[in-house]
């Protein structure tokens, strides 16, 4: 082999070694690097530590601070989707499990628009957590099946999904009222800057539900929650339930109570 040929071989070998070192350094980036990037986009997210690497790791003792209240999500593990880099929208597949919550889904960050996307988010949350945050006395378990949730600058800009409230109970100040199982269709409108929650009973599948519900909750930028709809109890002998409906409704037609109210959120 000539001297020139030997020089080319040495250069090629040198570049291969250099490329190998760079790849090792990239793959060795700790999970803390991902945690820092996510916390920059979601300042309400609190994470005490992390383990693993950027492409597969775990964030420890994760919690969300909402209006001064803390929602604990325990540890969150993730795996990076390498193919997502080709569309300039890096994504991770994550999961979490604790005594009060369980969830899994896909989180993506658009590097150009700075939007955060959650896709196929399947989350189960104890009603105790929701009760503490909203300062209401309820029991049961919430299961959220969110198809799409979009955030930008820490604001909700898109939402489509369903929430099921199982073993739903509400405390009216004297006793617990059994509401059965309720289905909530959740959506948002970017144009009107509002979020709508449609509460529907699952009467067709669960005829033993104690109430029929068709209520819409509208969250707007005016910081008011608009509640409009109807509630029809199936047992007109449940005095506690009827008394509660009398308090929250503005009119009644037969067994159907019409609800229309506004309150600050």
Alpha-carbon distance of 76 to 98, in angstroms, equals 10
**pLDDT(191) > 70:** no
The pLDDT > 90 percentage for the chain reads: 9
> The whole model's pTM is what?
0.72
Neighbours of 146 (CB within 10 A): 19
Q: Identify the residue whose tokens are 């300062």.
A: 135
Do residues 233 and 245 touch, judged by C-beta distance below 8 A? yes
Note the pLDDT tens digit of each residue in 136-189.
889 999 999 999 998 888 777 888 888 888 888 988 888 898 888 888 888 876
* pLDDT at position 203: 45
Q: Identify the residue whose tokens are 């939007």.
A: 115
């Amino acid at each position: 082999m000539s001297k020139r040929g030997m020089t080319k071989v040495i250069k090629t070998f040198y570049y291969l070694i250099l490329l190998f070192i760079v790849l090792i350094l990239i793959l060795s980036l700790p999970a803390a690097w991902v945690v820092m990037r996510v916390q920059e986009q979601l300042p309400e997210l609190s994470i005490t530590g992390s383990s693993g690497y950027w492409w597969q790791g775990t964030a420890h003792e994760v919690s969300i601070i909402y209006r001064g209240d803390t929602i604990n999500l325990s540890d969150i593990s993730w795996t990076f989707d390498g193919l997502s880099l080709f569309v300039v929208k890096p994504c991770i597949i994550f999961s979490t499990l604790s005594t009060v919550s369980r969830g899994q889904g896909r989180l993506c960050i658009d590097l150009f628009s700075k939007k955060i996307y959650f896709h196929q988010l399947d989350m189960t949350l104890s009603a105790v957590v929701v009760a503490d945050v909203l300062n209401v006395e309820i029991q049961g378990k919430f299961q959220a099946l969110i198809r799409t949730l979009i955030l930008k600058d820490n604001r909700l800009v898109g939402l489509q999904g369903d929430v099921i409230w199982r073993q739903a109970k509400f405390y009216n100040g004297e006793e617990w009222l059994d509401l059965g199982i309720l289905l909530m269709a959740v959506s948002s409108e970017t144009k009107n800057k509002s979020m709508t929650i449609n509460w529907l009973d699952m009467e067709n599948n669960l005829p033993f539900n104690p109430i029929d519900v068709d209520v819409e909750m509208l969250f707007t930028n005016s910081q008011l929650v608009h509640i409009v709809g109807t509630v029809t109890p199936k047992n007109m002998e449940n005095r506690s339930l009827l008394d509660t409906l009398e308090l929250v409704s503005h009119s009644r037609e037969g067994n159907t109570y019409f609800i229309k109210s506004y309150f600050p959120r």
